[in-house]
Amino acid sequence: MKNIEIQKLVNEHSSYTTMLNELVKSLLKTNHIKYHIVECRTKSTESLNEKIRLKNIKSVTNEITDISGIRIILYYQDDVDKVSKLITDNFEVDKPNSINKAELYDSNQFGYLSIHYIVQLNNLRKKLPEWKTFSNLKAEIQIRTVLQHSWASISHELSYKKRYEIPKELERKLFRLAGLFELADEQFLKIRDEHKKLDLSIEKLTKSNKEEQLEINSLTLKHALEKSGSIYQKIISRAYKLGFDEYDESTETEYLDDDDTQYYYSEIILVSKILSLKSLNQLELGLKENEKLIDKVFAAAVKKNDNWGAGATFLTLIASMTLLNAKELRIFSQKSGWDNDNFDCIANAIIDLKKL
């Protein structure tokens, strides 16, 4: 195959890889499957030429099936099964050339578990105008967990891909480590399931007004903030009336992502620890006693910055900060690392209003 033909094939696959990457992400999102990373790559002309030379390949289109590659890295082992079904449902899978590495190794063998599918577009998608150009192209889709990916990356760095390549002095240590990675995957799955059960039990207690039984953590705060008619809902509603820009933290916005939401939960918990509050009920009682001050702080903050986008967790954090005195605000600032103009604006407003 001439270089000009190989370059043309690589260019074609490059466009295919990009569209395939977006399609896979869309399928994951539509099916509510959270993922760590979706990676994509197209083999370079140099890499392709080297493979053709080493393996004496006669037909690139038939013998090389991974010019386009997608790698899906997931959080939990059971998500691998869900995504596998997603791939088989939405693509035409070349089963003889696809690999489930879990089936390749005996229980005492060296290796990492992942699934490699060789796929083509299914008949329905081939008929769509935007996909017609790629109807005959193949791609490799790899599916693995974060821990499986870590193992694969480290073993690749050590250049130990097969058992017979491992120095005898290191073989036992690597076998034990491989077992720990698999065990960790199983344990993370159990922890996630226990987290869900705990989440449900907290939701029931919150709905039955048993906040005195609940310690302050991110799960209890989440349900408390969502509870209709709660002190949090009242505070948040008044904040928007006083001029904060409203947005929904449960969706992606220009203001906030999920990491920020968790950060604000952590900051509310820090306030509670500084105040030695043990239960959600104690925090709520403090907020109820401080409602007038909270409103004044909100008004002062908006007056200082009239373009604040604020969600429920951020507004609850501001409200909880009104329970702190000047010394406690300094401690909070040092431990939280939240030290900017917005913090100064809120902290100064709280201190000044408490002096009145």
Neighbours of 314 (CB within 10 A): 24
Q: Is residue 127 predicted with pLDDT exceeding 70?
A: yes
Name all domains of the chain by residue range, CATH numbers in brackets. Answer: 3-182 (3.30.460.10), 210-355 (no CATH)
Amino acid at 347: A
Residue that wins the pLDDT comparison between 106 and 54: 54
Label residues 93-112 b or e (16+ Cβ within 10 Å = b).
Answer: beeeebeebeeeeeeeebbb
pLDDT digits (tens, 9 = 90+) for 75-90: 998 999 999 999 999 9
Of 91-95, 100-104, 259-263, 351-355, the one with minimum mean pLDDT is 100-104
DSSP symbol at 134: G
β-bridge pairing 68-74 and 139-145: parallel
Contact 145, 83 (CB under 8 A): no
Q: Is residue 203 predicted with pLDDT exceeding 70?
A: yes
Helix, coil or strand: residue 234: helix
pLDDT grade for 193, boundaries at 50, 70 and 90: confident
Tokens linked to 280: 């959600």
**Side-chain-side CA neighbours of residue 181 (13 Å):** 23
Contact 246, 310 (CB under 8 A): yes
- In this structure, is the dihedral angle defined by the CA atoms of residues 20, 21, 22 and 28, taken in order, positive or negative? positive
Q: Is residue 180 predicted with pLDDT exceeding 90?
A: no
Task: Give residues with Cβ within 8 angstroms of 181, minimum separation 6.
Answer: 112, 147, 148, 150, 151
Distance CA 22, CA 40 (A): 10
pLDDT over 90 for what percent of the chain? Answer: 45
For the CA atoms of the chain, what is the radius of gyration?
A: 27
pLDDT digits (tens, 9 = 90+) for 264-308: 999 999 999 999 998 989 999 999 999 999 999 999 988 887 777
Q: What is the mean pLDDT of residues 189-195?
A: 87
Which of the residue ranges 17-26, 41-50, 244-253 has the most confident prediction, judged by mean pLDDT? 17-26
- In this structure, is the dihedral angle defined by the CA atoms of residues 210, 211, 217 and 221, taken in order, positive or negative? positive
Q: What pLDDT score was predicted for residue 254? A: 41
Q: What pLDDT score was predicted for residue 164? A: 52
The overall average pLDDT reported for the chain is 84
Residue that wins the pLDDT comparison between 198 and 225: 225
Tokens linked to 131: 């996909």
Neighbours of 287 (CB within 10 A): 20
Contact 302, 242 (CB under 8 A): yes
Q: What is the mean pLDDT of residues 184-201?
A: 85
Q: What pLDDT score was predicted for residue 110? A: 43
Contact 105, 111 (CB under 8 A): yes
Consecutive H or E run containing 239: helix 231-241
Residue that wins the pLDDT comparison between 117 and 6: 117
Which one, of 227, 241, 345, lies nearest residue 295 by Cα?
241
Q: What pLDDT score was predicted for residue 56? A: 79
Q: What pLDDT score was predicted for residue 258? A: 54
On whether the pTM is more than 0.85, the answer is no
Q: What pLDDT score was predicted for residue 255? A: 40
Q: What pLDDT score was predicted for residue 291? A: 94
Q: What pLDDT score was predicted for residue 112? A: 57
Q: What pLDDT score was predicted for residue 211? A: 61
Q: Is 127 exposed, middle or buried (0-12, 13-18, 19+ CB in 10 A)?
A: exposed
Q: Is residue 166 predicted with pLDDT exceeding 70?
A: no
Q: What pLDDT score was predicted for residue 108? A: 44
Distance CA 235, CA 213 (A): 23
Amino acid at 322: T
Helix, coil or strand: residue 159: coil
Q: What pLDDT score was predicted for residue 37? A: 95
Q: Is residue 150 predicted with pLDDT exceeding 60?
A: yes
pLDDT digits (tens, 9 = 90+) for 210-268: 666 788 988 889 888 888 889 999 999 999 999 888 765 554 444 444 567 888 999 99
Residue that wins the pLDDT comparison between 59 and 69: 69
